[in-house]
Amino acid sequence: MKKYLFISGLVLMSYSACKQNVKSNLFDGSNPFATEFSDSRGLPPFDLIKAEHYRPAFLAGIEQHSAEIKAIIDNSEAPAFENTVAALDESGRLLSRVSAVFFAMTSACTDSVLQAIEAEMTPVLTEHRDNIYLNEKLFARIKAVYDAPASQNLTTEQKRLLEQYYKDFVRSGIALEASKKERLREINKELGLLNVAFGENLLAETNDFQLVIDKKEDLSGLPQSVIDVAGETAKVKGLDGKWVFTLSKPSWEPFLKYADNRELRENLYKAMYNRCNNGNSHDNKDIIQKTVNLRLERANLLGYKTHADYQLEETMAKTPERALRLLSDIWKYALPQAEKERDELQKLIDGEGGKFKLQSWDWWYYAEKLRVVKYDLNEEELRPYFVLDNVRNGAFEVAHRLYGISFKEINDVPVYQKDVKVFEASDSDGSHIGVIYLDYFPRPEKRNGAWMGNFVEQTVHNGKFVHPVVYNVGNFALPTSDAPSLLNLDQVETLFHEFGHALHGLLSKCNYVGVSGTNVYRDFVELPSQINEHWAFHPEVLKLYAKHYLTGAVIPDLLVEKIKKTATFKQGFMTAELVAAAILDLKWHAIESPVTEDVITFENNVLNGIGLIPEIIVRYKSPYFSHIFNGGYSAGYYSYLWSEVLDADAFQAFEEKGIFDKETAKSFRENILSKGASDDPATLYFRFRGADPNPDYLLKNRGFIN
């Protein structure tokens, strides 16, 4: 089903109590959600959408969707694919419309008003979802289609959609007895509120901290560009003449890399990794314990041993054991490499006369020093060549050379925030593909990280192709009064990564929204994003977009070669913190009895059990692990590495024939990017590659084997 239907929360009011006076509130001509967006490209009218429009639009959407479901059930004709499955996939367009915009805003541009609406509407949406998936009459029609001999004559895409809906109903508890269904509803509602609370706590805790520096000597080691941004941040906060560093990654990361003041590095890093673990009103530990225990109870109700077993049934990995096996295989290479890197850093500290043992808040700083020693490369040398707009245009150019598509900025459409830019995507024949919104700068009302989403998902509606409208959100370096936004290597890679997701959404060509675009298995969805990263620093591509912001000079060959040589630098550290987080996620969701111990104790037992060295902090400590407690990656964070097996192998096809080889790109577009979940992902991959993926390429890319 559509993504909004998977929201769950604690019931605050019943649906029947909420839906009164819906039509008078909504259909008076003033609510922009009342009809399809009037823009010919399907763009949301952000200049008209106000906070007060969401609640009535949600309620009217639920009412309309419920009526559509009733019509399917009451259809006097025998159940068939078109009048049951396709009709179900087609239903709920109003609710999808408002949900897509609202939940994009609660992530990228929220405030107390939107948070209150989210807290109110989440349980209502949960109840609505359960009313659909626990509807026995509706399931009876779907099952009749599923069991009918005629279903064998469906197209592959139709079979996939039918199977998906059938499984969704079964996995949602349709076969449970009444008392268990009622308990399931209660669990779903409570989990939704916990999910919302986790995210709100994390945003508040992130925004509450600031490191204020008023002594210029405490800025020692920091590049001028970093100092300038900190000064601009201080001005915004009313602290003129000082410098402010926050828990936004573009702020804390360069401070850890370059600040000579070790005590301040420690203070900032500890504030970052202790978020929501401070025993205050924003503490997430109780939320985590309740969440994992409720997820276990729900899995048991549905007949699964653990939440991980439940989640992974509908993935490429299929079982937690297979996912853990991949992680264990990589861990065998990552941990020794991380230990080797630790020893190198300690040797560097000792050589400088340091009388202390390397700590986690030292790693970034001394790794940058080691980069200079080993490769004669300071990452700050590179930043002037990575102007945000140029990097974005580089990603556009790669897509043009691979798939023939072009991007043109649209300046005459409303946006939800002044920094957002909008581009129309066109195919090689000039035909319209879709539209992408780019929202790249951090702000207090935006959560950390980077992500892709849809305002409008690609589908076919009433025989007409519906073009996608997608968005990329990031938290990249802010421009200053003296310089544009200049990115570091990690941010460049992130931009290409999220744009890969956007291409997956834009280039979709499916008939049904339930299987279109990025509506694929969690451990397959990262293939398009991660393969796109491979072009970011390829020498041929760097020459296209990496130009000095002052002179316009193309990045010199010497720096390009240094980037190439440092491709596997610090991979022990980066892989160890990533794999450790993936294992922690699976362990949280592989519990077979309720967790009673303290959250941090549980976490420490897991990390100590795999031998994570104390000098490395897991990429996401549990209290701020939003992927799994505020997102859709519970028992699925391993997906980044599972997909990396695919993307490393897939890019090898381009390496063999040329990174812009038209035939290879055409095959990737036709077999991967355009297909969504319209066929089995393993089948789609085999059609592209002609073979199963070779995991050795992942290990080679990370420098673990030759």
**pLDDT tens digits for 244-277?**
999 999 999 999 999 999 999 999 999 999 999 9
452: nearest Cα among 483, 415, 494: 494
What's the pLDDT at 69? 98
Structure tokens belonging to residue 630: 């505020």
- What is the CB neighbour count within 10 angstroms for residue 566? 17
- Phi and psi for 473 in degrees, rounded to 5? -125, 140
What's the pLDDT at 74? 98
What's the pLDDT at 38? 87
Q: In sequence order, what are the residues at sequence separation of 6 or more whose Cβ sits closer than 8 angstroms to the Cβ of residue 207?
A: 246, 247, 444
Tell me the catalytic residues.
498
What stretches in the chain show pLDDT beneath 70?
Answer: 1-28
- Phi and psi for 212 in degrees, rounded to 5? -100, 125
- What is the CB neighbour count within 10 angstroms for residue 39? 13
Of the CA atoms within 13 Å of residue 286, those in its CB half-sphere come to 9
Distances (CA, A) of 6 to 48, 128, 208, 586: 28, 10, 30, 20
CA distance 704 to 572: 9
Residue 554 DSSP class: B
171: nearest Cα among 163, 179, 161: 163
Containing H/E element for 243?
A: strand 243-245
What pTM, to 2 d.p., does this model score? 0.95
| C-alpha dihedral (465, 501, 471, 228), degrees to nearest 10 | -160
- What is the CB neighbour count within 10 angstroms for residue 245? 26
- What is the CB neighbour count within 10 angstroms for residue 466? 18
Strand partners, 473: 439, 451
CA distance 695 to 701: 10
What's the pLDDT at 648? 98
CA distance 121 to 99: 10
What's the pLDDT at 1? 34
Of the CA atoms within 13 Å of residue 85, those in its CB half-sphere come to 27
Q: Are 498 and 450 in contact (CB under 8 A)?
A: yes
First to last CA, the chain: 44
Q: In sequence order, what are the residues at sequence separation of 6 or more whose Cβ sits closer than 8 angstroms to the Cβ of residue 89?
A: 161, 165, 512, 513, 514
Parallel, antiparallel, or unpaired: how do β-strands 459-461 and 211-213 relate?
A: unpaired
Secondary structure class of 657 (helix, strand, coil) = helix
Q: Are 245 and 268 in contact (CB under 8 A)?
A: yes
CA distance 423 to 433: 11
Q: Where are the domains of the chain?
A: 3-133+135-171, 209-273, 384-565+640-701
CA distance 619 to 629: 15
* Buried-state track 116-152, b at ≥16 Cβ within 10 A, e below 16: ebbbbbbbbbbbbbbbbbbbeebbebbbebbebeebe
**CATH no. for 384-565+640-701:** 1.10.1370.40
Are both 3-133+135-171 and 384-565+640-701 of the same fold?
A: yes
Q: Would you identify the CATH topology of the domain 3-133+135-171?
A: Neurolysin; domain 3 (1.10.1370)
Parallel, antiparallel, or unpaired: how do β-strands 432-439 and 469-473 relate?
A: parallel
Q: Angle 312-318-323 (CA atoms, 0-180°, nearest 5)?
A: 80
Q: Are 514 and 161 in contact (CB under 8 A)?
A: yes
- The stretches of 446-555 forming alpha helices (DSSP H) are 489-506, 526-536, 539-545
DSSP E strands: which ranges in 403-466? 406-410, 421-426, 432-439, 451-456, 459-461, 464-466
Structure tokens belonging to residue 563: 């980037």
Of the CA atoms within 13 Å of residue 416, those in its CB half-sphere come to 24
Length of the chain (residues)? 706
What's the pLDDT at 514? 97
Q: Are 287 and 204 in contact (CB under 8 A)?
A: no
